[in-house]
Amino acid sequence: MNLLLIDKYLIWSFFKKIFSVLFVFIIIFLIVDLIEDVDRMLDYNLTFNQFSFIYYYSIPHYMNIAFPMAILIATVMTFTLMQKNNEITALKASGVSIYRLTIPFFIIGIILTILMFYFENIVVTKSNTLKSNLEKKYYNKNQKNNINKNVILQIDKNRTIIIDKFNFRNKSANNVSIQEFENNTLKSRLDTENLIWLNNNWVAKNSTYRSFDDKSLFRSFSDTILHLNIKPMDLIESTVKPEEMDYWRLKAFIDRLKSNGREHTKWLVDLYFKTAFPFSNIIMILFGVVLTIRKPRTNFLIGLGLSIFVIFIYYIMIKAGQSAGYSGAVHPLLSVWMANILFFLCGLVLLTKTKS
């Protein structure tokens, strides 16, 4: 028996179903999103081209979310149809085990996991940024897109900077307060009308400095150079969402936070999530095989229902893990990988108990 020919047949059948299911999920997501945003579009009088571009840039994000679900349902569909056509029975009679049939699926899962990691960090992050820029442009017409307001950032272990407005185009900040604490008590503060980035240094204009120790020092000065452990990019990225940064940019941002002694737990959770979520492709293939092979008489509707249940539980667990990681209750790495580990071990146990 030509097993390579069988593998080609399974792979081709599998990919046709993946793209069909993925297309359905994307359409559903777009329709739901459109229904939710139609009132806002009408309020802002957006043209067809304007809102169509917003949804065009949403497609990669929806693909990334829907891909594990599409893989699970496609796996269930593939094996269910093979059982219905008695193809699995015929292959078993020819001496081909169930484990041998699953090999090309797991190879595909590994390849797709790698591809989805790069897809998310190259395509999805860029499309999310473009979508966010369009939404700011169309939905905040009365605001300048190059200005961030109410920026609060921890400079180092004991100092915090509060900025009323930061213009990242000319790298200047207005109404800035730099506060130093010791044992949760305000030790000193520096207030300045303008803070400008010039020649790789922060220049403060029209500033006042107050010290709240025993000497209670008060001093004012016009222009002075401040040595701060932040750069304009830190102030820009402090308002950027993790899904708008790729893995490498986010990691570099976290390294800067660490070097400055600033809180970075939440960002670490988001960093590890970028590696954990693509691994769900392998898990979904594993469960797709288990759900259909363990009960050969399972029809497609039952398999579909079980698939939706597995997806629902998996997404709940991975989001619960993220929340636990954000709060510091669980280590950031474990918080996003916990669901993967549990599902993978459970799937392996069920697969080993399957009659081959």
| Cβ neighbours around 17 below 10 Å, total | 19
Using CA atoms, how far residue 185 sits from 6, 182, 213, 228, 261, in Å, is 71, 5, 10, 21, 18
Q: Which amino acid is at 245?
A: M
Predicted confidence at residue 214, as pLDDT, reads 63
pLDDT interval class at 8 (50, 70, 90) = confident
Please indicate whether residue 41 or residue 274 has the higher confidence score (pLDDT). 274
Predicted confidence at residue 145, as pLDDT, reads 53
pLDDT in tens, 288-335: 888 887 665 666 778 788 888 999 999 999 999 999 999 989 999 999
Average pLDDT over every residue of 223-248: 79
pLDDT in tens, 199-233: 888 999 989 988 887 666 778 888 888 888 888 87
pLDDT in tens, 77-100: 888 888 888 777 787 777 777 788
| Cβ neighbours around 122 below 10 Å, total | 13
**158, 150 Cβ separation under 8 angstroms:** no
pLDDT in tens, 140-186: 654 445 677 777 777 777 788 888 888 877 888 999 989 888 877 88
Predicted confidence at residue 146, as pLDDT, reads 61
Predicted confidence at residue 352, as pLDDT, reads 84
**247, 121 Cβ separation under 8 angstroms:** yes
Rounded to an integer, what distance in angstroms lies between the CA atom of residue 18 and that of residue 75? 8
| Average pLDDT of every residue of the chain | 85
pLDDT interval class at 261 (50, 70, 90) = low
The pTM (predicted TM-score) of the whole model is 0.75
Which range (11-15, 147-151, 224-228, 264-268) has the least confidence? 147-151
pLDDT at 44 over 60: yes
Predicted confidence at residue 243, as pLDDT, reads 80
| Cβ neighbours around 218 below 10 Å, total | 9
Average pLDDT over every residue of 127-146: 73
